[in-house]
Structures are given as structure tokens and as C-alpha cells.
Amino acid sequence: MLKCCLLVLLVLVALSHSRPQDEAPMPYQYEYKVEDQEKQLYHGKEESGNEAGKVEGKYYVLLPDNRLMTVTYSVEGESGFIQKTEYQDNAQVFG
């Protein structure tokens, strides 16, 4: 799942760089969330982009060892993809 999220993110970044430079970016907001306690599935993503072209977001996933991994990221101008990964031990995400 993590590989899939990274692939989607890379495609979005590539597409954002392929538009004509004289065209202003459109603001957007996107999110999804999956919570299934029976199957121990917990993951999601939030992302937004503004009219200046800055993209900020995070995605998170409950790992098999019961740690919650959260990756926050931003992309702005020529800075490229900047990310920070955090882990929460013994995450209590259900109930």
C-alpha cells in the first residue's frame, strides 16, 4: 500500500511539472480514510494545493507491528519533495 501511495504521489508531482508555465495552478483538496478494525486496516491521506502551486499533505498507515507511520510532505517551486516520517509505537487507532 505504501508503494502505491508513493507511486500516486510521484505521478501527481510529475503531472504538476508538465503543465505550461504560464498557466496558474488550480487550488484543490483531497483526502481519503480507511478504517476496518476487523481486518486491522487503518490508512489514509490528506493533500491540498494552493494557487501558488504549493502542495502540502500527509499519509498514514498502521503497520503490522502496531506502529502508526505518518509521513508529512510539501512540494513548492524548485524545492522538490520534502518529507518527514514519524512513528507512533503501540498506536491505539480503533475505539
Each residue's pLDDT, cut to its tens digit, for the chain (95 residues) gives 656 555 565 666 666 665 566 788 899 999 999 999 999 999 999 999 999 999 999 999 999 999 999 999 999 988 899 999 999 999 999 87
> Residue 16: its pLDDT value, please?
61
> Residue 14: its pLDDT value, please?
65
CA 61 distance to own-chain centroid: 11
Number of H helices, E strands in the chain: 1, 5
Domain boundaries, the chain: 2-18+28-88
Q: Which of 28, 53, 35, 33 is nearest to 45 (CA)?
A: 33
Per 3-state DSSP, the chain is made up of helix, strand and coil in percentages (nearest 5) of: 20, 45, 35
> Residue 2: its pLDDT value, please?
58
Cα–Cα distance for residue pair 4/76, rounded to 1 Å: 22
Q: Which of 94, 50, 38, 43 is nearest to 74 (CA)?
A: 50
